[in-house]
Chains A and B, each alone.
Chain A
């Protein structure tokens, strides 16, 4: 199954074995992935960046299974989620634990993206605030903290205890509101991540964690232990990035993407050129090419899954219609599949099929089964007993009856099922972007990440258009394939 799907997709563009860099689905991750991929490419390796693949679990699994060769990660995440019993500040222990998984780690890139408390720069310099300890002198400061930070045991409660903070005016509020409240002066401090673009944007000073309360989340690049053998230049390029990015730089890069709406590619390329002397081309594909590329990916997913589903579901539907007990079983199973949330199904399929188009196609295939099986069964069961008897009375054997009489009579219903599946697929395929399958979901995800409606529309509008087109296409197919006598309302 996987082989067949991959084969089908290979026809749509299989590149020679390249170094593949992955990245998580958030801006900083994508920028770092882009920096890593471009650094590799500048060293001469054929490199591919599979961006915004999903969350930690997806990337980690993809790295170990060899579907990607490298991705940016944080030491805190490694310590708390991926490697048990290793301290985030113990790099040597971490390297040993990683080596057991066949993974290597670069030196820390140079910044620590963790929780922090930010204070407006003006206020901070007026009162001489540099560290969290300095807050002990400011009992009147109003704090606006995110609900999550307030609730976590290792959030506000622990911070107050560690530093003996005296502030009484502590409010829970939404993160975006907190920034607004800071600029209006309603609060004087908030929690944030140390590399948030908003730090630059709202001119905040990040107070240093002088008592090392917050966990260490140093950015590193993870890569497969076999990479230095397969592409020495790439491994060297990744290692050379260690220590090259400090927090101020990262804040700036995030800010360029988030606020100034530059692409991660161009921001990464500009930084590599200015600070590392590495030139790399930024493919300035226009919107049309981008949409066309997404369209191809999207269509490939929808068509291959739909074709496979028709080939499986129609025979299943025939069997189900002929044998009521089997029918109950088949319809029940297909119905249960339908109730698995699409995102969950995609994630469940990753261990079996890896990342990329394969799990997306498989999920779409599974979702397509129910409507087609159901309508095939309904179409066949709906044939009047008189017609059924008539076909039998002619002396046609069962298979000929099926082919010449029953399936043609059930065709309108079967087509309606395929249409339903196709329209659902066009919509659901947008989720494929979460597992690296591309398609119209890619700009939607990116748009959500960057809070950019126009980017979201770049995916949402074509997806809607494709759904309408699918409807129209099926109306045409129906007109051609179904004799006028079988069409509705005769």
Chain B
């Protein structure tokens, strides 16, 4: 399961357990640079756990993990996280800060000058198609879709090399969802970044994914373009998973 070309993250024999129960792995996986990798699989299969490992929020119990060319150590992890934008499953916007302050949190902490921050926020708002008038609202005063746009802006604030998105469209209604899907894909194309996106939704995977990684019970079942999964499912589970979506309304 090695990718062709450079990798943004590579996992070899990585395993994560919680109190004896295996949450993920053993898993070998390469995330190719500059492409969108979609992690697909049923609830509880370890998708979020995989993202947390890549971002250094949790450490593997076994195996080796390299991200953006570096090993993930306690000493390197904070700098590494700033090179990886991460939108957690629930968005994770800070309710005590306005949208603008959420986006500017890290630049401000890094002591960027105000004009530079303002310019960056404006640029991101345009990219994420968020009306600038909404920037001074607090998360509680924004719709779910708007919140996700702000979360994306925050993840992109430092222009990271890689973007991790955990079900960014999870709780949105279909109309908003479709619109945001289009906009997100547009952003990914414009920026040409390495993206790892989690979903359990096949249609979403089709929409985004150059490359799909199907997980089940913490392990990779099949990896490749979605068309390959469809035409040559590696095992019964792949077919069942795809069929389940085909039957869905």
**Which A residues have a C-beta under 8 Å from some C-beta of B?**
386-387, 389-397, 400, 404-405, 408-409, 411, 482-486, 490
Contact = CB atoms under 8 A, between A and B. Distances in A.
A395 B95 contact: no
A395 B77 CA distance: 8
Given A396-B106, A484-B138, A485-B141, A387 B79 contact: no
Interface string B136-163: 0011110000000000001000000000
B139 A393 contact: no
Interface in B31-88: 52, 55, 57, 78-82, 86, 88
Contacts of B55: 393
A386 to B, nearest CB: 4
A485 B138 contact: yes
A394 B138 contact: no
Given A485-B139, A485-B141, A393 B94 contact: no
A400 B81 CA distance: 14
Contacts of A484: 138
B81 A393 contact: yes
A interface majority secondary structure: helix
Nearest to A482: B96
Contact of B96 (A390, A393, A396, A409): A409
Interface band, chain B: 20 to 34
B181 interface: no
Given A386-B89, A389-B57, A486 B96 contact: yes
A393 B56 CA distance: 8
Cβ-closest 6 pairs across A and B: A390-B92, A395-B81, A395-B82, A485-B138, A393-B86, A386-B90
Contacts of A392: 57, 81
Given A389-B92, A485-B95, 5 more contacts: A387-B95, A391-B94, A396-B78, A409-B95, A411-B96
A396 B157 CA distance: 14
A386 B88 contact: yes
A404 B108 CA distance: 11
B19 to A, nearest CB: 17
Given A484-B138, A490-B140, A394 B88 contact: no
Interface of B: 52, 55, 57, 78-82, 86, 88-90, 92-97, 105-106, 109, 138-141, 154
Contacts of B140: 485, 490
Contacts of B52: 389
Contacts of A404: 105, 109
Contacts of B79: 395
Given A389-B88, A490-B140, A395 B106 contact: yes
B88 A397 contact: no
A386 B90 CA distance: 7
Contacts of A405: 94, 96
Given A400-B109, A485-B138, A395 B80 contact: yes
Nearest to A397: B78
Given A400-B109, A409-B95, A486-B96, A393 B88 contact: yes
Chain B CB count within 10 A is highest, among A395, A404, A484, A485, for A395
A253 to B, nearest CB: 64
A395 B155 CA distance: 11
B186 to A, nearest CB: 24
B15 to A, nearest CB: 21
Query: By CB atoms of chain B within 10 A, which of A386, A392, A484 has the most?
Result: A392
Query: Could you say which of B89, B93, B94 has the most chain A C-beta atoms within 10 Å of its C-beta?
Result: B94
Contacts of B109: 396, 400, 404
B96 A485 contact: yes
A407 to B, nearest CB: 10
A387 B92 contact: yes
20 contacts: A386-B88, A386-B90, A387-B95, A390-B88, A390-B93, A393-B55, A393-B57, A393-B86, A393-B92, A394-B82, A395-B79, A395-B82, A396-B78, A400-B109, A404-B105, A411-B96, A482-B96, A485-B138, A485-B139, A485-B141
A385 to B, nearest CB: 9
A394 B94 CA distance: 12
A387 B138 contact: no
A390 B87 CA distance: 8
Contacts of A482: 96
A400 B78 CA distance: 12
A411 B92 CA distance: 18
A119 to B, nearest CB: 77
